[in-house]
Amino acid sequence: MGGRAMSRRHRVAALGVCLGALVFSALSAAPSSAYARTSTVGHPERATQETASGWCGEGFETLPSDVCYIDGRTKGPRKTLVIWLHGVIGKDTNWSWNHQRMLQRLAKHHNIEILFPKAPASGTVYAWPGTAEAQARTEQALIDQWTAAKNILEERERQAFEEVFVFGFSSGAYFASSLAMRGRLDVDGYATFAGGQSHKIEKEPVVRFAPVYVGVCAKDSTTEKHSRAFAKSLSAAGIPRMVSVQQVGHDLSEAHFAGALAFLRSKRKVATV
């Protein structure tokens, strides 16, 4: 997938992504304790307890570029892959392991597979690119890493995924919203939780649009406004969307996660000419 130059308007919008990531650096570091209380499972013969950076937790396979693989399949053939863009995570912590255990529980409940890539290092944290300059510098390499990890999984079992979604939480939601508005990835849908950024429509037509699920966290006053603004941008661009409001703070709602899968599975990518 080739990159495209960003307009000045997207540069301005992307600055908001950076500000959002800074605001939520402390809030999005770890999931709720209820999510963290799970045991690790998977494929011990392929998993490593700890990578050089300690990014992937025990019981989770480490693919190239520190992309963690969470296999939640409990029955039936391979079908769904979610690429999860995490919130801001501190360096030299095991916060990523807590996120992975929470996602493992959700993956098993929904019988799906998840890739958990690592955001670029930024000071003392890992956060997704929040300015046009940072996106131009790192975005294509990140997409290539996700694609390579997906290809490894498909080639290993000689079976392609039927559907691929990009889900973003907090910092990851701001980045995912930018990817969705620019049609940056050839995927079947996007979902944003506790974050999102309004965008102006590009003068140049977007090659592809995918449906988007917007999870609004009503008790998080900052991201609630940002998520609603992002939903308005989707409406203005004519992108299929669903907006779901849950009475939660800066956290991932299980209802949001399930709702995103249900909505995106009911839609199909919309190509534009």
How far apart CA 151 and CA 162 sit, in angstroms, is 13
pLDDT at 42 over 50: no
* pLDDT tens digit sequence for 159-210: 999 999 999 999 999 999 999 999 999 999 999 999 998 887 665 556 678 9
Question: Mutual orientation of helices 8-23 and 221-237 as an angle, nearest 10°?
Answer: 160
The reported pLDDT for the residue numbered 201 is 67
What is the Cα 155 distance to its own chain's centre? 23
Average pLDDT, the chain: 81
Strands (DSSP E) found in 57-158 = 61-63, 67-71, 80-85, 89-90, 113-116, 121-122, 125-126
Q: Assess if residue 88 is contained within a domain.
A: yes
Give residue 97's domain range. 8-271
Q: Assess if residue 3 is contained within a domain.
A: no
How far apart CA 1 and CA 9 sit, in angstroms, is 22
Structure tokens of 158? 């000689």
Q: Which helix (H) or strand (E) holds 122?
A: strand 121-122
pLDDT at 16 over 60: no
> Please, which residues bridge with residue 163 across strands?
80
Q: Which helix (H) or strand (E) holds 81?
A: strand 80-85
CATH number where 158 lies: 3.40.50.1820
Q: Assess if residue 1 is contained within a domain.
A: no
Which of 244, 238, 240, 264 lies closest to 194 in space, CA to CA? 244
> Please, which residues bridge with residue 208 across strands?
271
What's the domain count of the chain? 1
User: Coil, helix or strand for 47?
Assistant: coil
Q: Assess if residue 215 is contained within a domain.
A: yes
* 207 vs 100, higher pLDDT: 100
The strand order across the sheet containing 241-246 reads 61-63, 67-71, 113-116, 80-85, 163-169, 189-193, 212-217, 241-246
What amino acid is encoded at 92 in this protein?
Answer: D
Contact yes or no for 96/57 (Cβ under 8 A): yes
The reported pLDDT for the residue numbered 29 is 36
Q: Assess if residue 2 is contained within a domain.
A: no
pLDDT at 125 over 80: yes
Q: Assess if residue 239 is contained within a domain.
A: yes
Q: Assess if residue 75 is contained within a domain.
A: yes
How far apart CA 194 and CA 155 sit, in angstroms, is 34
Q: Assess if residue 156 is contained within a domain.
A: yes
pTM listed for this prediction: 0.81
How far apart CA 262 and CA 72 sit, in angstroms, is 17
